Each structure stands twice: as structure tokens, then as C-alpha cells.
Structure 1
Amino acid sequence: MAHLSEETLTLLALGEARDAQDQQHVASCPDCAAELASLERVVRAGRAEPPVLTAPGPGVWAAIHAELGLSAGVAADPLAGSRGGDVLDVASEDAADEASDDARDDATSHRTGTPADDGAGHGGATVVDLDARRSRPRRGVPYPLAAAAAAAALFVGGISVWGAQRVGLEPDPTVLATAELEPLAGYTARGSAEVDERPDGTRQLVVRTDPADVNGFKEVWLLAPDAQRMVSLGVMAGDEAVFVLPENLDVGEFPVVDVSNEPIDGDPTHSGDSIVRGVLDA
């Protein structure tokens, strides 16, 4: 069975279906359905909102403490009070820290008698000891939360990079030969074909045609120049199809690409009714 191309599966995953026949093919082809499901997961991951972090279990800090060889003074789990599925809102913790800093600044101002600015540029300006503020310890983001956030970022980043490679950044195949497919008697459709060599060394024939009315199904063939010998590659579902070529198939011996209109009669031979045809040129 011929499978849909990676380009077609990617468009389907993005919700940009090009042909109803592509959908029908996916419904009947487990391999293409599995590939499409994988691409859809990548798309959902890329479009999803950032995950909400929850407090990790007590074993996380214990493992971090042991791995980093920290002192006994910080052995207690800093998130012991955040259990039970509480959501860790990093922005809220930062805001609370800032509020605490401001409160300490106000208290210092009252104790020292230093006037505070009224916000409009009037009155005396508050003198802030920058060195003191830098040296004052802040709670910040706890180690376990930072570790969990880093792990989540690496995981999501890995998915994004993998998805990008899968969708558009994997190495392009090497084009070995191409053909312009011209219409035969009774048809107006045109098309193209190319033989590609993938990075793993496998060869594939990619065939594209204009829509054509057929009374059965479209089948792709490679013919000898005299058209007396031929190899069937399979059924073409839709207007684009990819066929993996057998390793021992000599394209030079069968250089003619032919797409035929085949009736559903159980006869495996060529119907003699060709839609388009062209010769591969290396």
C-alpha cells in the first residue's frame, strides 16, 4: 500500500487537509494513522499553554540535597507546606518577596527618620542603601521548584525541537531523477514524478498529478521503454503518493512513470487506460 507523504501528513496534523481522499487513506492505513497521531501530539504540545507546576514530592528535595552534597542546615524540605496539590505560582512568590522588601524599606525609613518620596517628586527623597539591598537574602524560587521547572523546560524544549526536525528541518532527500507527466488521450491532467534517495539510503518515487476523473482507482507503474514490461508500485490515493522502491529495482531499466485508470475487476494487469506518462531523466 502506498503511504501519504510527510508533507501531506504534516498539513493534516496542522488542520489544513488538502483532499478528502487523504482523510480516507488515513482511516484505512494504520501506518499513516500512527504517523499522523504522532505529528498531532507535536502540534498540540507546540500550541499548548505552559504547564502549571505543582509542588514536588518530599523525595525530590532529599535527592537534590544528597546529589549536591548540601549541609545539614538545609536538609529540611523547603516546600513541606506546599503539599496536597497546591499550585506553585512563581509570579505570586516574587510579588510577595517584593512586597516584603518594600515593607522592610518603609520600616527602615521610619526608624531612621529618612523621608519617603510622595510619588510626585515632592518632599525629600528616600535614601536607599543599594549594597544593603543586594546583600539582603531573598527567598527566590526554591531549589525543588527550580529543578522541576528546568526539567519541564528541557522536556517541552525537546519535544519542540523534535517536532521542528520532524516537520521541516530533517535532511532533505537527494533527487536522483525527475519526470514531467503529460496527459494521454482522453485526459487533461498533468503531473510530475521524482526519485529521491533518503539519508538512510532508501529510494522512493514521489508522484503528483492534477485531479482526474476515474471510474475505478489510480495505479502507478514503472514501464520499460518499449512498454512491454512493467512493475506495479501500488494504488495512488489522492493526487500525491510516495512509493518505496525495492533495492534491486533498476530505474534505468524501467524509466517510464505511468499512472493508469484501473477498473475494479480483479485483473492485476495494466488496463491499457493511462492518465499521464513521462520518462525519468537523471
Structure 2
Amino acid sequence: MEHTDEAALTLMALGDPPSPDVTQHLLACSRCRQELQALRRVAAHMRAPSPTDGDLLEPPADLWDAIADELNLSTPDAERTAAPGTPPFSLRSRDAIAPGRRRRLARFTIGLAACAALLGAAAGSAVTWWATQSTTAAPSAEEGNRLRSLQANSAGYASLSDSDGHRTLEITVKGLPSTAGYFEVWLMDRTHTKLISMGVLGPDGHATLPVPGNVDLREYSEVDVSVQPYNGKPDHSGDSVVRGPYAG
């Protein structure tokens, strides 16, 4: 099962109507429904009214003076030449803009936090890829092409070799999730709708699997590893760990 794109879920959370295909997918996929609900909560928070001044903390009394000094907004000469009875520039400015500054600061802080949360949720796949890159050693040339990680902390590598007409798919997956089932290796086409089961990963996350000579590798150009339950059903579970084109 191909999950709904994170960008599409984000647009739906912001009010865009889903396509009929996405609607059908959400009815069957709890994972995508949960992601959409989380994004909608973030969007609702972004639309919430700004807090009142009473909800905000008063900044230190010398905050504006420190900012003004840093930016050269007031000088002793300017204060000495002010009209008689007029407070110094730093005091006038601080008293005049403090309420507006607090409101703007509150709105900016809340908006920034909400946007960060929204972008973090929408970029789930990118964050997973970055974390995997950071925690997994770089593959050697023998390990093959890096596959796309579909579950946190997982990384896969696959390559195809052809020796005297005997084709072999070699695949290694690191950071496999816990399961009471097993991990099955598939060849699939670019649309991810046509699949051929190749075999299972070993306990160490590695497998070397023969590829029948009558399989058209121009069509079946990608490899997928799925988590399969022991339920006697031969179909793909829809729960993939890694996927992507293999080397070779």
C-alpha cells in the first residue's frame, strides 16, 4: 500500500479537499489518518486568536535601553536637545511601543512555533532520511544503491549482479523494526502496483536471492522490503520498511 504524500496531507489539513483516491486510502489506512489529524491540530493552533497582554510576561525594565544602545537609537546629545519637559528618547520610545511590541512578539512566537511544527510534520520523510544518514555508516560500493527509508532508523541497500546468465539480487537492511512476523523482499514496477515476491531477509537483515531469467528487469526496476505477519496470506502487507531502485 502506497501511503499518501506528506505534502498532500498538509494541504488537506489547511483546508484543501482530498481527491477521491486519497479519500478511499484514508478510510483504509490508520497511519495516514493519524498524520492528517496531527496536522489539523497544528493548523487549528495557528488559527487561534493571539493572547492578550495580560497573558504575556513583562520584559525586564532595561531591555529596551540595551537594544537601543546596541542599535545606536539614542545618544546623550539627542536627549539633551529634546524639548523641555519631554522624557528622554529611550524612555519615550520604551513606554510608547512596549504594548505593541509585546503583542507582535507573542504573535510571532506562536506563529513560528506552529509553522515549525507544521513543517516538521510535513517533512517527516525528509527528517527520517536525515536521521538515518546521520546514524548509519556510509555504504560501501559492494552494498549497492541506497533505498528510500519508509520507517524511522531503517536503511537499505540493494544491487543486482549477473554472472554467466545467473542473476542475483543482494539486499541488506539495517535498523529493522521489531516484529512478530518476517521481512519479505519484492521486485516491483515504478507504479508500485505490480509485485513479484523474491524471498525473505535473513535474521541479520541480509539476503542474496536468485532472480528468474524471465523477469523483465526493465519493468521491475525497484525493490521493496515489507513487514509480513504469519497469517498465511501471500499478498504484500502494505507495511514497507525500505523501497527504491537497485544498483546494477
Same fold (TM over 0.5): no
State which structure, 1 or 2, has the greater radius of gyration over its C-alpha atoms: 1
Short-chain TM bin: 0.3 to 0.5
- TM-score, normalised relative to structure 2: 0.42
